Structure formats: structure tokens, C-alpha cells
């Protein structure tokens, strides 16, 4: 049996399949998206995409995993993100207090100059889940507001 990684027209991995050796079954299992392709082997979609059929590391954002700011509504942390990036902000204190596992989440979209800025008016730890467009890797940032 052979493993194959299937990717779409943008080079993003959509699935990994195990082929049976039967040409009819394998054609159905493989089902390559229009403009996409396949390669033998298993690749991690979190860190790999394909450019002209070649496995390529997905680019990463240049952010530190942790920042510390004053909780005064003025001090801030900022970092460059590609156009179209979405950032979800969750209070870790609220997550810990939740009895049913749900928390409120504020979703921000980076402004036109591709700079994301975060400020806090209250103390606490804030988790920023940064979701840039493909092919960038997502990132998680912890901001401690003191």
C-alpha cells in the first residue's frame, strides 16, 4: 500500500490517502482537486505546502510567542501580518472560570497597513490566535497585561 498526499491548486494539503493497489479504487480514493496534485508520501499540512509539485515549508509570521504590556489601554503589542489575517482574542482568566468550556471571543481583522495592534484595559493573560491566509502558518501569542 502506498500513502499519497493530495494538495489543491494553491498547494495546500487537503488530505493524505492510502492507496489499495486497485486502479479503479485508487482513482476514486485519490480524487485530486482541479489544478492540484499528489505526491507519494505523507506530509504535515501544518508546516508544508506545495509549489510546482515540490514540498515547501509554509512561511511563518515573525512574532514572539509571549509579550508583556501595561494594562492601561495605551501600551500595546504590535506585529506585521499579511493582508486578510484574522486574530481571535480570548481572556485566559475567563476560560479558566468557565464551567461549560465556553468563552467569549473577540475577532479582529488586521488593518489596511497589515499591522496588528493589541491593547488591554484590564490585567490578565490574553491568548491571540493569529490566522493568516494560506500559505502562512497560524500562530498563537500570549500577551500578559500587568
Q: pLDDT by residue (tens digit) across 53-75?
A: 999 999 999 889 999 999 999 99
Residues 12-41: b if buried by 16+ CB within 10 A, e if exposed? bbbeebebeeeeeebeeeeeeeeebbbbee
pTM score, two decimals?
0.77
Q: What number is the average pLDDT over the span 30-49?
A: 95
Terminal Cα distance for the chain, rounded: 55
Q: What pLDDT score was predicted for residue 30?
A: 85
In the chain, list all ranges with CATH 2.60.40. 66-145
Domain 66-145 sits in CATH at 2.60.40
Q: What number is the average pLDDT over the span 39-51?
A: 96
Tell me phi and psi for residue 15, to 5 degrees: -175, 165
Amino acid at each position: 500500500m502506498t500513502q499519497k498526499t493530495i494538495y489543491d491548486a494553491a498547494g495546500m494539503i487537503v488530505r493524505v490517502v492510502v492507496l489499495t493497489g486497485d486502479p479503479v479504487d485508487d482513482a476514486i480514493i485519490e480524487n485530486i482537486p482541479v489544478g492540484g496534485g499528489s505526491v507519494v508520501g505523507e506530509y504535515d499540512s501544518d508546516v508544508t505546502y506545495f509549489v510546482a509539485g515540490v514540498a515547501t515549508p509554509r512561511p511563518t509570521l515573525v512574532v514572539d510567542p509571549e509579550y508583556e504590556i501595561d494594562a492601561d489601554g495605551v501600551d500595546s503589542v504590535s506585529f506585521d501580518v499579511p493582508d486578510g489575517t484574522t486574530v481571535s482574542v480570548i481572556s485566559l482568566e475567563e476560560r479558566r472560570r468557565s464551567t461549560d468550556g465556553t468563552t467569549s471571543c473577540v475577532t479582529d481583522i488586521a488593518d489596511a497597513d497589515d499591522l496588528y495592534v493589541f491593547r488591554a484595559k484590564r490585567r490578565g493573560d490574553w491568548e491571540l490566535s493569529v490566522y493568516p491566509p494560506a500559505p502562512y502558518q497560524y500562530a498563537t501569542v500570549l500577551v500578559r497585561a500587568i
